[in-house]
Amino acid sequence: MTEIYETQSERTDLPLVVMPAVLDAMIEPIKAQFPALHDVARVRMFEEFTSDEAVLAERLKNADALLVGGYHISDDLLRTISEQGHVKCIVFCGTGVASYINLELARELKVRVCNAEHYGDHAVAEHTFALLFELIRKVGQLDKDVKAGNWAWAGGDGLQLAGRRMGIIGLGGIGTTVAGIARAFGMEVAAWNSHVPAEHFERSGSVPVDDLNELIETSDVISVHLPLNDATRGIVTAENLAHLQPGTMLINTARSEVIESGALFARLQEGDIPAALDVFDHEPLTVDDPICHVPGIVLTPHVGWRTDGAFKELTRQMIACMNAYFAGEDYNVVVSEH
């Protein structure tokens, strides 16, 4: 039976905030934030993760606001909870809300949508290097070999980061953090100069490169950190990827959709580009997905953002969004209800 955690249940005069599904790792961090809603709103959290929309809709009956944790809101569910219910504010547990909710439909329905910003800069940047180190040092495979009694050095010779060039596509909070780590490893760092404030280059020590093809062609490692929005969807094209030189390593911990659909898989099929991905066109991946069978590829299940520090800051911002909504203020608003 699903555990239900509630606060101020007797305060029926207060609006109701419902979290109809929650990731296990978020339960304690977000509980620690609920006191900030004292005398502002009641909270009802179902301590079980599900993406079953019939279940979500049932749990959201009588809700005034919704906390979303790790599942997609279909257009049908969005219409159900806004038109047939009372939900007029949705707070998403992350930055890339456009991948999970139809923002244009939310705007039509006059539902406020909020997200969290920069909560996972360090988490995603660190995961970027976890993926990169797996490509250059193959620690996971070597661990298996040693435990299997294989002490042979075959495959154990790695690549060195110091002296190599990191090319960053997307020099925001995460990209800037990646740049700092790369420089600490002795790498030269360059970044695509696409609507990036000059201070980002100054702060990160990155060299601006105006032409994306030039950045891709002259880098030893390409790391993607663009947010997903209407302007960035498919912005990295097949023509851009054609400029990858054999042996260039590609890391994507941003969103799969910022790369032209099908372009990355087609380029990887040539077999000369080591790649590590944390994001995909369809999640979760199935074992028969073609991307799983690209030789040498490293894949993780969209976990770059999941660290203790990121959960703490993420949940703080989620509750801050709720407080602002009920106070008639704005905080991390992506779509306004007005």
Residues noted as catalytic: 255, 283, 302
Residue ranges with strand state E in the chain = 4-7, 16-19, 42-46, 65-68, 89-92, 112-114, 165-169, 188-192, 207-209, 221-224, 249-252, 275-277, 298-299, 333-335
Question: Any residues with CB less than 8 A from the CB of 46 and at least 6 apart, and which?
Answer: 2, 3, 4, 18, 19, 20, 21, 22, 59
Alpha-carbon distance of 131 to 305, in angstroms, equals: 13
Q: Which two tokens stand for residue 20?
A: 């109809």
Question: Any residues with CB less than 8 A from the CB of 15 and at least 6 apart, and which?
Answer: 41, 42, 64, 65, 326
Q: Which two tokens stand for residue 277?
A: 């991905």
CA distances from 289 to 102, 254, 265, 280, 285 (A): 25, 20, 11, 10, 6
Alpha-carbon distance of 164 to 160, in angstroms, equals: 8
Alpha-carbon distance of 191 to 216, in angstroms, equals: 10
- Residue 41 has, within 13 A of its CA and on its CB side, a CA count of 27
